[in-house]
Structure 1
Amino acid sequence: MRPIYLLFAGILIVVPFIIDAVATPAPHLSADFNKSFTDTVPIVKDTALLRKKDAISVKKDTSLPVLTDSTAVDSMDMPKLSKDSLDAPVTYKAKDSIVLVVPDKRFFLYGTANTKYKKVDLTAERMNFTQSTGIMEATTALDTSGKPYGRPQLNDGGQSFDSDTLRYNFNTQRAKIYNTRSQYGEGFVASQQTKRQPDNSIFGFKNGYTTCNLDTPHFQFRARKIKVIPDKLVISGPANLEIEGVPTPLFIPFAIFPITQGQRSGMLMPGYVVNAQKGMGLENGGYYVGLGDNFDLTMRGDIYSYGSWSLTASPTYRKRYHYNGGMTLSFANTRFGDPTVKTEFSRSRDFRVTWNHSMDSKARPGVNFGANVNFGTSSYNTYNVYDYATRVNNNIGSSISFSKTWQGKPFNFTSSLTHSQNLSTRDVSISFPSATFNVNTLYPFQPKELVGPSKWYYKLGIGYSTVLNNSVTFKDSVFGKSKMFDALQSGMKHNVPISFSIPVFKNFTLSPGISYAEYWYTKKTVRTWNANKRVSIDSLGGIDTTYSSGFFAARQASASLSLSTALYGMYQFSKTSKIRAIRHVMRPTISASFQPDLAKNAYYYLRYNKTGDSLRQSYFTSSSVGVPSEGRAGSISFGLDNNLEMKVFSKKDTSANHEKKIKLLDGFGINTSYNMLADSFRLSTFSIYARTNLFDKINVTASGSIDPYQVNARGRRLDAYVWQAGKLSLGRLTNANISMSTSFQSSDKKSKDKEKEINNIENEQSTDAAFQAQQRQLAAVRKNPGEYVDFDIPWKVDLSYSLSYSKQIIPDSGGVVVSFNQYLSFNGDFSLTPKWKVGVNSGIDFINKQLAYTNIYISRDLHCWQMSINLIPIGTYRQFSITISPKSGILRDLRINRSRTFYDL
């Protein structure tokens, strides 16, 4: 029996091995055998798909690499891959469930499914994948109300698609997308059908292009066919503009929308305008040239039907961590009247040059170079500028400066060119070259290492400074002519001060000092009365001016001794009073000085009218380095500065005292002097001043001069005090001015962040091209307030009031001239609705009883568009314009503008 048992046992062992050797894998004949139990499939996350010959392998939380080189590993270690295997792993996950159908080579993902393959990231509510075709399909699902949700979202290398249905082929990397919406730069493209190619190019059918970010855009360009070249262009065939879903009569044969990032050269489209003086015209058309990260150039031009034209070139340059700047060169030719009628025809040729340059402080420590130039003809603004800020500003100026500081040494050097120009009077002043060299105060008796108590002579200091200046003042009509060079003044001043300060009497500071100054000039100016000079048709007599060149010198020396202290006073109120205390601080200063008469030869008597009145004037009055004062002086000077503060009860204060400090007067004072060695007019004028900030809202500043002497009928001073005539007064008010300003606005939660951002743009010296564009946009906001409105602020008002008075003898006017000006300027805006804003910039001239240059603007926020209406209702240059333009920069040329300009000649 034992051999039979051994034979049977051997057969049982051998048969499984024989079956395994000859059997092939295949589905069971029974369909129920292959049924998937979808209700018991667990949620699988972060798994990797690896397709093999006849099955899909699923492994939880793993990602298996696919090897393309089969010789790299032993065939016993890695099974052979099927022909339809992918060249990279696919990771997938689903919130609800994942169903794999092995015989059909398909799997299904349910509930916020996500699939990742290389750079492709696909998310949808439903997904299914077919291995035989390599196609992944993503769709939405329906909620209980029958509405779809979970739209497929595809992100491929920065391209994003939002659609109803999406099919993606992993083998060919092509995709077919239905009812999709994609963003390219600032634009959005919505298409009924979209084909995506392996090179990422897009072909769309029945499309809409817009820059409105709403699901139902306010406007769009409808085109049957469209092509998208990523990071380059969106190109379409014939397109129709549609507004609020309604087609318009506006058709375009084709459209090209750039979606490139960074610097690109291209055309700048002009705007159509109608000008009463210049006729119909095209404005701001031109070309932009990008020449790399360090340089670019913008060229624009205007042309009008009546023959006027203008050209502007604006290059900018930058070098990171070194410098940045920009320049604007403008030329304009304005024609008036009919050229065939010579008596009625005239022409104005104008130019304007602006240049700004700033240097990074880290580029060369101790060295700085900067420029801010604004120079041009006086009539340039008259015929070529219309914005409010420029029109009301009659003064322009320029400054170019270079400075160097020697580290570790007490030397510093500054050189500059300055220019100022009054566009109303046409006076121009230029100072160049101007240089200053200073030696900081040195203390020769102070040891390097202080040991023991300080000696009084340790604080004895000596310094040195020298100033070189060349300046000229002339009318702009003589620019570059001999009259301009005749008026050129050159001078140099050397100054050596010796001073020190020591404390005395515990609370006083004594400051003695000696100073010597030397003045050098290269030109003397002599002004004489000419009784036969014709000033006007009805008037004879005027002042002639002559110049003589050479070397001239004048000098001045002085010795002084000053004593100063501070006195404090406090008045306490009762504890129940809302006013807790008032503190008064006085800072008196008294000084004595002596000055010998070293500049007597620098002065002469100038007669200025027919009656023979005259005054003392220097030969070097127009010199920019100054003129030493005339005569001996043994003066005692007195000054008093006051400060007044108050403490009041405040519930908002979190301290135990519940007190708030309020400044009543930031400063209030008076200064004068008495010259004991003068033959006459020993008491100088009283200078008074005051400044404060009331309620942290109203800034107030005031100053004036009081002359203590009497005057005769022709305004000449008499050596007699005003109070000697029986008047209870310190004297006559010869000049005074007061200014007040305030600003009110409604609360804006974003105001601090906006103000901080604007300050950063203004103050930061960045060389980044995008940052430079921000600065140019900030300047455009100030020039065109109607097109850039902050709708976050419901209302705001800015007020400024100024009053000035002067009464003085001006020789060129023949006697006493009284000037009185009173002006109120205001600007503000308010929101009629959250989307409508009305604003005004204007002022009132109380002396001439008329409104100043006024600009009224109305703005409407249209979400993706903005409308602005600008009106200048009064004045010589009246203007009306309405502009409707997209907010997007890519469609900035797609604007509707209608303007009218009226001239009162």
Structure 2
Amino acid sequence: MNSKSRAKPFTKIGYIALQSNKHYLLFFFLLVASLVSLHAQEDKIITLPIKAEADSIIAPLFPIPVERDSIERDSILQDSLNKKPALLLDKITYKAKDYVKLSQKDQKIYLYNEAEIYYQDTELKAGVIIMDYIKNEVYAGRLKDSLGNYTQTPFFKQGTNEVVPDSIRFNFDTQKALIWNSRTEQQAAAGSLGSDAMKVYANITKKENDSVYFLSEGKLTTSADTINPDYYIRIRKAKFVPKKKVIAGFSNLYIADVPTPIALPFAYFPLTVGRSAGIMMPTFGSDPNTGYFLQDLGYYVPIGEVADITFNGSFYTNGSYGIRTQSVYAKRYKYRGNVNIRYENQVTSQKGFDDYRVNRNYNIQISHSQDTKSSPNSRFSASVNLGSSRYYRESLQQQNLPNTQNNNLSSSISYSKTFPAYPSVNMSLSATHSQNTNTDVINMTLPTLQASMERIFPFAKRDGIKKGIIQNINFQYNLNARNTIVTDDEGFFKSEMFDNAKVGAQHSIPISTNFKVAKFFSVSLGGRYEDVWALKTLDKSYDFENEVVVTDTISGFDRFNKYSLSASIGTTLYGTFNFGEDKKIQAIRHVMRPSLSYGYAPSFEQFYDEYIGPDGAVQFTRFENSQFGRPSLGQSNNLSFSLANTLEAKVTDKDSTATEAKKVPILSNFNISTGYNFESDSLRLNPLSVNGGTNILDNKMSINFSAGLDPYAIDNTGKRFNTFNIDNGGSLLRLTRANVNVSYSIDSKTFGKKEDEEEEDEPDPFDYVASSGGRTDDLFGKGDDFNDDRYREDEDDKRDGDDVDNPIFGTKIPWNFRLAYSANYANTARQNEFSSHSLMFSGDIELSPRWKVGGSSGYDFKNNGFTLTQLRFERDLKSFTLRFNWTPFGQYKRWYFFIGIKSSILKDLKWENRSQRVR
């Protein structure tokens, strides 16, 4: 029964009062009339000729109270008989700002101005909404203001899917919808490290169910400008599955609404949220040295939630190829790291020609860091960079350009464990690697075991204050055992590299104490005992027949011990020169820390043997090649002196609100040291060593220097002899070596208003150049990997806050400049030459908010030539990025051009071209 069946029409009838003395006769007459009337209506219902009025009250399907609704509701309860089951599974909530109108005639509800409807996981907002409560459908559209502009565009959300159309028609029962001019956004696709999103536009969209949409005349773009995108892919017809894929028919690329010839008969666009496996598109091109090539063809594979792996390959028609594998893993609050393995097979010329050769180079990088909170008493870390010495210099990859100037590769893998119970013990097991790429010499320790016990004060309470010479007596135990290997590129990773390995262990027990003398002097006394173990020793003899010394290696355990004594005294002196608080320089403070040390060690002749040679007996020790040195032959009796200095000025602060003067360092450190050997029969005085450093220009310039000064003269062969240089006609001290390093960094903010200094960002452990042992700055050039999304992320974030349309940008052009000067002078044998002498510089300038140019170069004063020079041009095209890197001359002359979409979803939509390295 509906509400109409309950609202029964009625009319008012006026009765005339009748008078009778026979009341029982009147009652009898009415009873008979009623029976006759009932019998007459038994077969036919006769309606009263009374006009019925339509009931204006209706029981809606949406029982939630309506805001601003002035219509009274029917107070009659619904009939529970013959009730039709409702198709809606939940209540519908709706409201509007201006009014909610219920029309029984149209069987619709009208919501106007900021209209909203909520049903289960469906949310609809629009300027106007019309709801058909019979069909359970809604129609939503925009409003037009007084200027004719449309406002309050519909917003449709179902679950996590959001659509912003011009108008929409939606059925609550079937969940189907018809959408006009829809706009939706899908989050970044597989492997993305940024916050990219794919925008999907369509003139007409048909929603089939919760997961399938059909599009007609659609656009796909990642442009941030949703009104007028600078590029899009036009699709005529497509099937759209939110957060999964778009399958389209004929599609082609439009740039600035201009069609391009880049088109496909059908297309597939993955929209997977999170990470998923996929192909990485390669780069095509040709090169006169390697022929046609296919570079950076790859495949990405995620491994669970904490790791992934990427395979890349580059192939050339002359037979060259390169393979790269990279894996990145991270677990929050536990660990993070990556593994990079690179191999290149480079073919030069063709078989049969004299210049034909094949170079096989490789490089392995491993980085692992552990969160300190995950295990306070143990830690594992790794930083590995090893491979062929010629890998970076002969690599075909542009990103390896800065590392061509790196002459050393180093690695370290370590595990440490602390046992906190008293006395606590620290243990570590490590493996190290050091490789000189110029000489191909490789030094390794496989492994090194170190252990140390904390200091024990036997004559003092553990928690008490230690006073005097007795209570400060302390000792500890240290163990250092290692296996060292020296090899080269040819023997690396081969069994023969272990033939000349050195294995040994060193046990040491240092004992020391300290106390004050005359309140101002600190005195330290100590001794050290060492026990050295070796698994290989030597035996020597002279072969008179062949006139050579024969050295035999004896395998087996052997040991020697040694001990030494030491003492030192030092103090601190302060000197202040005051010029007055009204002066710009108010005072200069000089701090000196002189120290005098004495060391003694006896001779250990018992560990020496003799063999008879042509000139008589020759002493030698079987521990000559010991891992931790040899026992000393002859007594050691040395006195050394050092003087540490710091010099700083107290100047008036430019800030008038400052209450104290500002401290400015003049010399951060200036150290002088020398020594005297009492046991030497000549040349007892050690050379004077000087080193120092300071920071000036508001810490923008760093200066470090060192020098060696020898008091003794040298002969014509360059050999020192026991005559002071001043007595030989020279100066008091002879300069034998010197070096100076100056670095300077300045940018546009230096001359601007001072702001609170921000904390410097820590170096990115995943930065390829830094992890390869190269510089963290770009003085050696930049090595961009254009297939890596990470290089774009920080730059995009910085530009987000820029007012790119600011007409006064020219008054505050951002720029930066870096300079590094290095000189090494050698004059030990009167060669009077610079072993190295160079000046390097680099800088960048943003000519406009989206134009950036930069470069790096230098000059080698020793070789009279320019160092690695690189020019860089960058253009931010909003959705695209354009880069051009050019090394105009030199051994690594090359250029690289790239233009592509910044979004990781469509990063394979790019064009790049490059020249290969000149051989």
Worse-matched range after superposition: 547-556 or 367-376? 547-556
1:104: Cα distance to partner? 2.6
| Structure 2 counterpart of 1:382, from 393, 399, 402 | 393
CA distance, structure 1, for counterparts of residue 60 and residue 50 of structure 2? 16
Query: Which residue in 2 is equivalent to 1:704?
Result: 707
| Aligned: 1:860 with 2:862 | no
Worse-matched range after superposition: 816-825 or 199-208? 816-825
| Structure 2 counterpart of 1:51, from 53, 60, 63 | 60
Query: Which residue in 2 is equivalent to 1:795?
Result: 815
Query: Which residue in 1 is equivalent to 2:372?
Result: 361
| 1:468–1:625 CA contact under 8 A, matched in 2 | no
Worse-matched range after superposition: 544-553 or 434-443? 544-553
Query: Which residue in 2 is equivalent to 1:288?
Result: 300
CA distance, structure 1, for counterparts of residue 622 and residue 850 of structure 2? 64
Read off the aligned partner of 2:108 and give its amino acid letter. Answer: R
C-alpha offsets along residues 596-627 of structure 1, whole Å, 9 cap, x if unaligned? Answer: 2237967999x9xxxx9xx9999877765345
| 2:163–2:183 CA contact under 8 A, matched in 1 | yes
1:294: Cα distance to partner? 4.3
| 2:589–2:648 CA contact under 8 A, matched in 1 | yes
SS in 1 for 2:477: strand
Query: Which residue in 2 is equivalent to 1:895?
Result: 910
Structure 1 residues 511 and 642, CA gap change in structure 2 (3 angstroms) = same
1:398: Cα distance to partner? 1.2
| 2:593–2:643 CA contact under 8 A, matched in 1 | yes
C-alpha offsets along residues 528-558 of structure 1, whole Å, 9 cap, x if unaligned? Answer: 999xx9xxxxxxxxx9996734466554422
Worse-matched range after superposition: 695-704 or 359-368? 359-368
| Aligned: 1:834 with 2:834 | no
Query: Which residue in 2 is equivalent to 1:417?
Result: 431
CA distance, structure 2, for counterparts of residue 238 and residue 166 of structure 1? 26
CA distance, structure 2, for counterparts of residue 444 and residue 382 of structure 1? 58
CA distance, structure 1, for counterparts of residue 479 and residue 312 of structure 2? 46
| 1:412–1:438 CA contact under 8 A, matched in 2 | yes
Structure 1 residues 182 and 151, CA gap change in structure 2 (3 angstroms) = same
SS in 1 for 2:243: coil
Structure 1 residues 752 and 884, CA gap change in structure 2 (3 angstroms) = farther
Structure 1 residues 57 and 597, CA gap change in structure 2 (3 angstroms) = closer
| Aligned: 1:715 with 2:718 | yes
Structure 1 residues 744 and 142, CA gap change in structure 2 (3 angstroms) = same
Q: Using the aligned pairs only, state the percent identity.
A: 31
TM-score normalised over the length of structure 2: 0.81
User: Could you say which structure has the larger radius of gyration?
Assistant: 2
C-alpha offsets along residues 82-135 of structure 1, whole Å, 9 cap, x if unaligned? Answer: 656632122222222222223332222222222211112212112221222222
1:677: Cα distance to partner? 2.8
Read off the aligned partner of 2:302 and give its amino acid letter. Answer: G
| 2:417–2:428 CA contact under 8 A, matched in 1 | yes
| Structure 1 counterpart of 2:360, from 339, 343, 349 | 349
SS in 1 for 2:890: coil
Read off the aligned partner of 1:828 and give its amino acid letter. Answer: G
Unaligned runs of 5+ in 1: 12-21, 37-48, 63-73, 534-542, 765-771, 810-814
* 1:410-489 equivalent positions in 2, closer than 5 A: 410-448=424-462, 450=464, 454-479=467-492, 484-489=497-502
Structure 1 residues 751 and 61, CA gap change in structure 2 (3 angstroms) = farther
* 1:429-578 equivalent positions in 2, closer than 5 A: 429-448=443-462, 450=464, 454-479=467-492, 484-523=497-536, 548-550=553-555, 553-578=559-584
1:653: Cα distance to partner? 5.7
| 2:338–2:766 CA contact under 8 A, matched in 1 | no
Structure 1 residues 362 and 146, CA gap change in structure 2 (3 angstroms) = closer
| 1:525–1:545 CA contact under 8 A, matched in 2 | no
* 1:235-314 equivalent positions in 2, closer than 5 A: 235-314=247-326
Read off the aligned partner of 1:783 and give its amino acid letter. Answer: G
| Structure 1 counterpart of 2:592, from 586, 594, 599 | 586
* 1:113-124 equivalent positions in 2, closer than 5 A: 113-124=115-126
| Structure 2 counterpart of 1:805, from 800, 806, 825 | 825
| Aligned: 1:218 with 2:224 | no
| 1:554–1:599 CA contact under 8 A, matched in 2 | no
C-alpha offsets along residues 164-203 of structure 1, whole Å, 9 cap, x if unaligned? Answer: 1111112222111111211122211111111112223111
| Structure 2 counterpart of 1:844, from 859, 864, 868 | 859
| 1:276–1:902 CA contact under 8 A, matched in 2 | no
Query: Which residue in 1 is equivalent to 2:207?
Result: 196
Structure 1 residues 651 and 344, CA gap change in structure 2 (3 angstroms) = closer
Read off the aligned partner of 1:209 and give its amino acid letter. Answer: L
Read off the aligned partner of 2:909 and give its amino acid letter. Answer: L
1:747: Cα distance to partner? 3.0
* 1:742-891 equivalent positions in 2, closer than 5 A: 742-747=744-749, 758-759=761-762, 762=765, 783-784=783-784, 788=792, 794-808=814-828, 820-891=835-906
| 2:428–2:451 CA contact under 8 A, matched in 1 | yes
Worse-matched range after superposition: 355-364 or 543-552? 543-552
Unaligned runs of 5+ in 2: 1-14, 24-29, 31-46, 70-75, 188-196, 803-812
Structure 1 residues 471 and 361, CA gap change in structure 2 (3 angstroms) = same
1:143: Cα distance to partner? 1.9
Read off the aligned partner of 1:894 and give its amino acid letter. Answer: L
Query: Which residue in 2 is equivalent to 1:132?
Result: 134
| Aligned: 1:635 with 2:635 | no
Structure 1 residues 556 and 270, CA gap change in structure 2 (3 angstroms) = same
Structure 1 residues 673 and 554, CA gap change in structure 2 (3 angstroms) = farther
Give the number of the structure whose residues are more often strand, by fraction: 1
Structure 1 residues 496 and 162, CA gap change in structure 2 (3 angstroms) = same
| Aligned: 1:401 with 2:407 | no
1:891: Cα distance to partner? 0.9
| 1:56–1:102 CA contact under 8 A, matched in 2 | no
CA distance, structure 1, for counterparts of residue 427 and residue 404 of structure 2? 37
Worse-matched range after superposition: 231-240 or 510-519? 510-519
Q: How large is the RMSD of aligned CA atoms in angstroms?
A: 4.1
Worse-matched range after superposition: 379-388 or 833-842? 379-388
C-alpha offsets along residues 314-344 of structure 1, whole Å, 9 cap, x if unaligned? Answer: 34455555444432233321111111x2423
Worse-matched range after superposition: 615-624 or 481-490? 615-624
Structure 1 residues 370 and 656, CA gap change in structure 2 (3 angstroms) = closer
CA distance, structure 2, for counterparts of residue 704 and residue 629 of structure 1? 29
Worse-matched range after superposition: 143-152 or 884-893? 143-152
CA distance, structure 2, for counterparts of residue 826 and residue 279 of structure 1? 35
| Structure 1 counterpart of 2:650, from 647, 650, 655 | 647
Number of residue equivalences? 824
SS in 1 for 2:157: strand
Structure 1 residues 148 and 79, CA gap change in structure 2 (3 angstroms) = farther
Worse-matched range after superposition: 857-866 or 408-417? 408-417
SS in 1 for 2:402: helix
| 1:50–1:57 CA contact under 8 A, matched in 2 | no
CA distance, structure 2, for counterparts of residue 23 and residue 382 of structure 1? 109
Structure 1 residues 603 and 108, CA gap change in structure 2 (3 angstroms) = farther
1:222: Cα distance to partner? 1.0
TM-score normalised over the length of structure 1: 0.83
SS in 1 for 2:912: strand
CA distance, structure 2, for counterparts of residue 545 and residue 896 of structure 1? 66
CA distance, structure 2, for counterparts of residue 276 and residue 817 of structure 1? 45
CA distance, structure 1, for counterparts of residue 461 and residue 356 of structure 2? 78
* 1:179-194 equivalent positions in 2, closer than 5 A: 179-185=181-187, 186-194=197-205
Worse-matched range after superposition: 885-894 or 841-850? 841-850
Worse-matched range after superposition: 138-147 or 881-890? 138-147
SS in 2 for 1:828: strand
CA distance, structure 2, for counterparts of residue 624 and residue 750 of structure 1? 58
